[in-house]
């Protein structure tokens, strides 16, 4: 049985008051926390959807970037095929034209067959060149005229030339006075050699111009990426800071409420003990009667 000394009326009243206060506090605390959590979640959703929010502001830069990247891709493809064509054409000029020139000067029972066979091999090599253009960049194809022709070199059969001199002149040689093998000085070359030399020179010119455009497009892409990154940061950072501030404020408010309530409860207990006149002290004479 609990004695009057152990539990007084004031103790019961204080405890009931504290329980009632705690229940009311918890209800209010949960309500405040729910409201703060809702506001914070809405801000988190807005931050997670920032890309949609930023899209109108970045749309112009992204369109510009897409165009620059397409140009880079197209130029890369043009340059790769252009490089292969120039290398193939160099082999034709440096190896096959001299071989055909030698065959044009030859005489004897197999001279005609050898010349025609060498000419046919050269024609097949010319037909192996691939059409290559980049219209948007202003680069027109330079090899199409060879593609659909049975005899792209324009060199006739051995017997179609009246003299050896005519045959040799038709084949010609490629002559360049420059250390750059793609440079052609028209007038120093003759016949097919000159035609192919001029073709390679023009292809190389286009290649150099396309290379410069490619480098410019890559530089532009980097500049646009920096602009997008800067714009993105300008718009994203304030929202991120706002979100972080809300998180900090929420934690601070909830912590302050909790600490304030616990402090108030502890203060009530102290005051109750101080003003409780009917609490019997252990060891006193009143213990004889209770």
Assess contact for 93 and 182: CB atoms under 8 A: no
Taking Cα atoms as reference points, which of 128, 132, 126 lies closest to residue 97?
126
Question: Rounded to a whole number, what is the largest CA-CA distance in the chain?
Answer: 153
Q: Over the stretch 64-89, which tens digit does the pLDDT of each residue have? A: 999 999 999 999 999 999 999 999 99
Q: Over the stretch 32-57, which tens digit does the pLDDT of each residue have? A: 888 888 877 877 777 776 677 777 87
On the question of pLDDT at 184 being above 60, the answer is: no
Q: How long is the chain?
A: 290
Return d(Cα 97, Cα 125) in angstroms, integer: 11
Counting the structural domains of the chain, the total is 1
Domain annotation covers residue 252? no
Domain annotation covers residue 61? no
Write down the pTM of the prediction: 0.64
On the question of pLDDT at 279 being above 80, the answer is: no
- Integer CA distances (angstroms), 254 to 148, 162, 240, in order: 83, 107, 21
Domain annotation covers residue 223? yes
Domain annotation covers residue 38? no
Q: Over the stretch 152-171, which tens digit does the pLDDT of each residue have? A: 888 999 999 999 999 988 88
Q: Over the stretch 96-153, which tens digit does the pLDDT of each residue have? A: 989 999 999 999 999 999 999 999 999 999 999 999 999 888 888 988 876 667 788 8
The whole domain housing 93 covers 77-233
Taking Cα atoms as reference points, which of 157, 184, 187, 185 lies closest to residue 170?
157
Assess contact for 98 and 141: CB atoms under 8 A: no
Return d(Cα 145, Cα 196) in angstroms, integer: 12
Strand partners of residue 139: 134
Domain annotation covers residue 178? yes
Torsion of CA 122, 125, 126, 129, to 10 degrees: -170
Q: What is the DSSP letter of 156?
A: -
Domain annotation covers residue 82? yes
Assess contact for 169 and 156: CB atoms under 8 A: no
3-state secondary structure of 149: coil
Domain annotation covers residue 100? yes
Domain annotation covers residue 110? yes
């Amino acid at each position: 049985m609990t004695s009057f000394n152990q539990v007084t009326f004031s103790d019961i009243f204080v405890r009931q008051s504290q329980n009632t206060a705690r229940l009311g506090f918890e209800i209010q605390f949960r309500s405040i926390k729910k409201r703060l959590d809702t506001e914070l979640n809405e801000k988190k959703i807005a931050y997670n959807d920032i890309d949609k929010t930023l899209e109108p502001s970045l749309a112009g830069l992204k369109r510009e970037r897409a165009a620059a990247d397409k140009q880079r891709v197209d130029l890369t493809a043009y340059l790769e095929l252009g490089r292969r064509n120039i290398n193939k054409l160099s082999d034709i000029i440096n190896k096959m034209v001299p071989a055909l020139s030698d065959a044009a000067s030859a005489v004897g029972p197999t001279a005609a067959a050898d010349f025609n066979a060498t000419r046919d091999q050269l024609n097949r090599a010319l037909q192996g060149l691939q059409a290559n253009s980049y219209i948007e960049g202003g680069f027109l194809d330079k090899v199409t005229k060879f593609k659909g022709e049975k005899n792209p070199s324009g060199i006739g059969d051995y017997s179609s030339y009246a003299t050896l001199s005519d045959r040799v002149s038709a084949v010609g040689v490629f002559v360049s006075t420059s250390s750059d093998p793609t440079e052609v000085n028209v007038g120093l070359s003759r016949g097919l050699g000159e035609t192919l030399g001029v073709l390679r020179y023009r292809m190389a010119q286009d290649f150099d111009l396309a290379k410069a455009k490619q480098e410019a497009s890559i530089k532009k892409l980097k500049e646009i990426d920096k602009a997008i990154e800067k714009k993105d940061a300008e718009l994203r950072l304030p929202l991120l800071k706002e979100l972080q501030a809300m998180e900090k404020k929420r934690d601070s408010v909830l912590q302050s409420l909790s600490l304030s309530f616990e402090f108030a409860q502890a203060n009530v207990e102290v005051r109750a003990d101080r003003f409780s006149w009917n609490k019997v002290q252990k060891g006193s004479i009143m213990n004889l009667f209770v």
